[in-house]
Each structure stands twice: as structure tokens, then as C-alpha cells.
Amino acid sequence: MDGPHSASWNMAMDAAMLDAAGMGLAPATVRIYTWDEAAVTVGLHQDVGAGIDAAWCASEGIPVVRRPTGGRGILHGTDLTVSIAARIEALPSDCRSVIESYRYLSAGFVDALGSLGLDGRMGECERRELGGGDCFAARSLADVVTVAGRKLIGSAQRRQGGALLQQSSIRYRRPAVAVADVFRGPVEEGSYPLENVPVEQLTRSLARSFAGLFGTEPEKPVGPSGWEEERCATLIRTFAPLSPGSNG
């Protein structure tokens, strides 16, 4: 497991992983990581002013940064985040469209949850209220939900250079910050069926499942390559916290 790191560093490293995959410098990579403080990431094209109370976040010292992927806002800090970077051609030929790639990668999460005794399944598309900022307030085909229909994992992708980056946030432990203070519009307080699972057990289950998905053996965790570290350092300014009133 990687982390904890700042929001800017986490987003820059994920972007560096995508660049490395696109250039053929890295195999399919799964990064499981945490955050060094409460933070909010917003989608690449999300209207921050319409969905996020950025002034309140600033007053509480909670950075708001843009992700390299799409979607809506996520409150981080007590979640577990999983980012996957891979060449699209590394996926089975019938799993390379956007929706099918979500389904294929989500199978790794569903398998890991099953090994922990939880029944996860793909979400279904719902109408989203205009202006709502909370990613977890609506379910989509990109998400994993519990048997009761509560959203447990929210995912978003970006594709470039023949590669994809999928960033997925797992609701792990309850945040100290109220989501209703962060987001405008409807919010989902959520349930936390994983909160009593030790993080080592959760990360092992995820690593085993994704190793199986990509047809590899689970390996001892390794850190980013030197090239990815240098690329992250170059990109980190791109993911600097947004100032209140800015739409980035």
C-alpha cells in the first residue's frame, strides 16, 4: 500500500502512472493508497462552484484539487483509494469499451469483497440532480454497490495515448467531516461495511483479486519507478489546491 500522501501528490502520481502506461514504460499497475489529511477531489470537468462549498473547505483547511479523471466530488481522508493504469490492449478484446472496461475492472473489486464475506455488484444508472457535487449521491454503471444498493465504490476513468487510468474510492471508515458541509445538493452519508476489516487484510484481498484479473502472480509491493517519481514532481503543480471562487 502506498501513502499517506497529500492530495496533490496522489493525483500527480496517478497522472504519472497514466503517462507511463501510455508510453509503454510500465506494465498494468494497481496503486492502493491513503491520504495524509481530509481532502476533496473533483472531476476533471466538474463545476466546483455549483457542487462544492470551497469556501467552507478552505476555512477548515481541507484542500480541493482536480482529479485527472471525470466524475463528481469525493471526500477523502478515511477512504481507501485504488488507481489502475494499463494499456487498453491489456484488457480482453471484448472489455475495451468504456462501460465494459468499468465492468471488467469492477470484477476485481467484487471478487475482493466476496473474499471478505461481502456481496458487491455493479450499480445501475440513475438520474443525477443538476449541480449536485457528491459522487456517492448517485449510482452508475461504473460503481460497485452493496446488496442493499448502497454505493460502496465510486470510479472514474480517463483515457489517453492508448492507456486508461481508473481511480476508485472505497468507503472504508467514517469521515470526521460531514459530507453535507462539503457538498452542495444531495449527499449520501453512506454505510461502511468494511470499517472493521484491518487495512492489511483489505489490501491483500484487493492485490490478490487484481493480480488474478490481469493474469499475474501477486508480487511484493514495489514503489513507483524513477521515471514516475520525476514525472510526478513535474505534474504536481498541475494539481495544486484550488482557491475558493476558482473553477480551476
The catalytic site residues sit at 135
Q: How far apart are CA 90 and CA 191, in angstroms?
A: 34
Residue 4 one-letter amino acid: P
Cell numbers given for 18: 497514466
What is the DSSP code (8-state) at residue 3? E
DSSP string covering 87-135: EGGGS-GGG-SHHHHHHHHHHHHHHHHHHTT--EEE----PPPTT--BG
Helices (H), the chain: 7-22, 48-51, 54-59, 98-115, 179-182, 199-213, 226-235
Cell numbers given for 52: 462544492
CB 120 within 8 A of CB 146: yes
Residue 124 — φ and ψ, nearest 5°? -125, 155
